[in-house]
Structure 1
């Protein structure tokens, strides 16, 4: 009986030593997941940076396009447009029409250009 206890004790020490010498699979898996998350964060950062640059370029192209586009922003209702066209048909100058309707000459000219078919 004493030999069995000593044999079991020696076997347990051997197995304990063997368990410390083996690789830890969970630690390797944890390191792989950590590497994947780091690379994913780097890719997300790069994509956000590219999107920021793209948005800036898009805004710059829109502002340059807007400054090149001379069409005014029209905020006139149907009645005001009809008044402008009627005054133009009566022979009033564009600058006088703009003053009477609180508009710019570009807006008045644009309304007249848009509605040339109605004037003919």
Structure 2
């Protein structure tokens, strides 16, 4: 009986020792998933950055800035269009940008194609 208990004790010590030297496949898999996730996030960031640059290049070319009646700069026109797209009223936009309602309506009308 003592021999069986000693044998089981030795076998348990050997198995515990082997478990420390065995590779942990779940840890490697977790590291692989983390690496893949990080690289995917980096790619998404790069793509978003490229899309933002493209939008900045394309948006000004689509916005009509030919205001012969007034001297409104391009930045103000973009601000007016942005506020209009966000649902601001013409009166509120005119007050915020210090322009007349007619100028705001004219800019919106000239840029209807961009706004749709």
Note the C-alpha offset of 1:60: 2.2
2:35 corresponds in structure 1 to: 35
CA distance in 2, matches of 1:62, 1:8: 81
Note the C-alpha offset of 1:2: 0.9
Note the C-alpha offset of 1:67: 4.1
Alignment deviations for residues 55-90 of structure 1 (CA, whole Å, 9 cap, x no partner):
000012223xx347x9xxxxxxxxxxxxxxxxxxxx
Alignment deviations for residues 21-45 of structure 1 (CA, whole Å, 9 cap, x no partner):
1011110111011001101100100
CA distance in 1, matches of 2:57, 2:18: 62
The number of equivalent residue pairs is 68
> Superposed, which structure 2 residues align to 1:9-24 within 5 Å?
9-24=9-24
1:44 corresponds in structure 2 to: 44
CA distance in 1, matches of 2:52, 2:42: 15
Gaps of 5+ in 2: 69-116
**Do residues 60 (structure 1) and 60 (structure 2) align?**
yes
Q: In terms of Rg, which structure is larger?
A: 1
- When the two structures are superposed, what TM-score results if normalisation uses the length of structure 1? 0.52
Gaps of 5+ in 1: 71-120
The runs of at least 4 consecutive aligned structure 1 residues that moved more than 3 Å come to none
- When the two structures are superposed, what TM-score results if normalisation uses the length of structure 2? 0.54
CA distance in 2, matches of 1:52, 1:31: 32
CA distance in 1, matches of 2:31, 2:56: 38
